[in-house]
Amino acid sequence: MFKKGKTHQQKNLFGPYYGYSEAMKKRLENSWASSFFEHIFLAIREERFAVLYSEKYSRPNVPVQTMVSLLILKELNQLTDEALIDAFYFDYRFDHALGIENIDSERICINTLTHFRKRLLTYEVQTGRDLLGEEIAFLSEHLAESIQLDRSFGRMDSMLISSNCKKMSRIELIYTVNRNMVRAMNTLDGIDIPETYQAYLKPSHQKEMLYRLHMDETQTRTDFLLEQSLALYHLMKSSDQGKETEAFTHLARLIEEQTVETEEGTRIPLRGNELPSGNLNNPSDPDATFRKKGNTTSVGYTLNFLEIRDRDKNVGLLLHYDVKANCYSDQAFGEDFVTHHPLMESLHTLVCDGAYDRVETLKKAKEKQVEFHVTIMTGGTCIKQQIPVDHFVVDQ
């Protein structure tokens, strides 16, 4: 059952606050905790989260203000769930930021955080709406309006976000997709698993297929597993039940990405250097892709973000972010923002690194009367046999 939280901070006469000296009280009031309570905690729109809870009369939820605030504080302070719970119970600044005077009446645990995140994720999967993301965007906008942020200057950058999924080799990926398909077949009525594939149901089969290979056997085994993938695909393509499974979706994608169709209509495996950059890397996180940026390799996503920087107030706020598969280029992020984002209406200057440089982006920024500046740094390493561009002097 949904229950609203606090609308103000009620001081407890017997709470810790009144036991502090005036100097300590002043220090607390000037800390981040008071600002957080006033500008973040009280601004959270709890009613939007009521859809996560039952309308029937039941045990009320932990206030959404508290849950959202804790998730924000967790990230701001880079805490684990355990450390966050400790801070909640033993750091009075956290209690002050959440408007809590009697900690004995507030009970949360790690499962409380887990269940709240699960509700958010389930709702997003069902509706496509990220309630927490929407609330963070609202709070950023609320802070910008509170301090009357000058929005004329922006800085854009990106970073790689690694997925929690295991980084698989090609042969391990193909095996896992095949095994998941066979396991799915085993749960469906009216589908007999051919004897050739029944070994996938044995726990020892993976070791036999993947970990007892000589180097010169790897390519042959990879081709064999892909042949099994193709046979499984044709077997399940005619099954309405089978085609609706997630395992079949991954199998179809694997075949599309790992093989190529010949003029005769048969499919043959692609070589390793021919695989597309956005191919499936792990069925447990099918959206995660592989990328090498500089000397760093990553399987996961790219976060692109824009900081609006008020140089007179010497303060900045992130007012835009976008998450894509990590094979999505900075050039594409930059053009997307310049072309479509409403913040372009208030910007006068946009600064990015050299990876965002694209002629179309520059043209569109010029049309909107925004100065688009990119650095000469694109992340590439200097080749010793070549003379770098900064060693040349170009006259007018």
| Tens-digit pLDDT profile for residues 273-293 | 788 778 898 999 998 888 877
Distance CA 157, CA 195 (A): 53
pLDDT reported for residue 249: 95
Q: How confident is the model at residue 388 (pLDDT cuts 50, 70, 90)?
A: confident
pLDDT reported for residue 149: 95
pLDDT reported for residue 290: 83
Range with the poorest average pLDDT among 10-19, 31-40, 303-312: 10-19
Question: What average pLDDT does the structure give for the chain?
Answer: 88
Q: What is the pLDDT of residues 23-46, one digit of tens each?
A: 988 998 899 999 999 999 999 999
pLDDT reported for residue 176: 95
Distance CA 116, CA 122 (A): 10
The 10 Å Cβ neighbour count of residue 55 is: 9
Which of 44, 69, 52 is closest to 1 using CA atoms?
52
Distance CA 334, CA 357 (A): 8
Q: What is the pLDDT of residues 229-271, one digit of tens each?
A: 999 999 998 888 888 899 999 999 999 999 988 888 888 888 8
pLDDT reported for residue 131: 95
pLDDT reported for residue 237: 87
pTM: 0.74
DSSP-derived pairing of the beta strands 296-310 and 315-325: antiparallel
- Kindly tell me if the per-residue pLDDT of 381 is higher than 80: no
Instruction: Please give the full DSSP string across 268-311, using - where no structure is assigned.
Output: EEPPGGGS-TT----TTSTT-EEEEETTEEEEEEEEEEEEEEET
pLDDT reported for residue 10: 59
pLDDT reported for residue 157: 95
Domains (range + CATH), the chain: 16-144 (no CATH), 150-162+296-390 (3.30.420.10), 170-274 (no CATH)
In this structure, are residues 349 and 338 in contact, taking their beta carbons and an 8 Å threshold? no
pLDDT reported for residue 2: 67
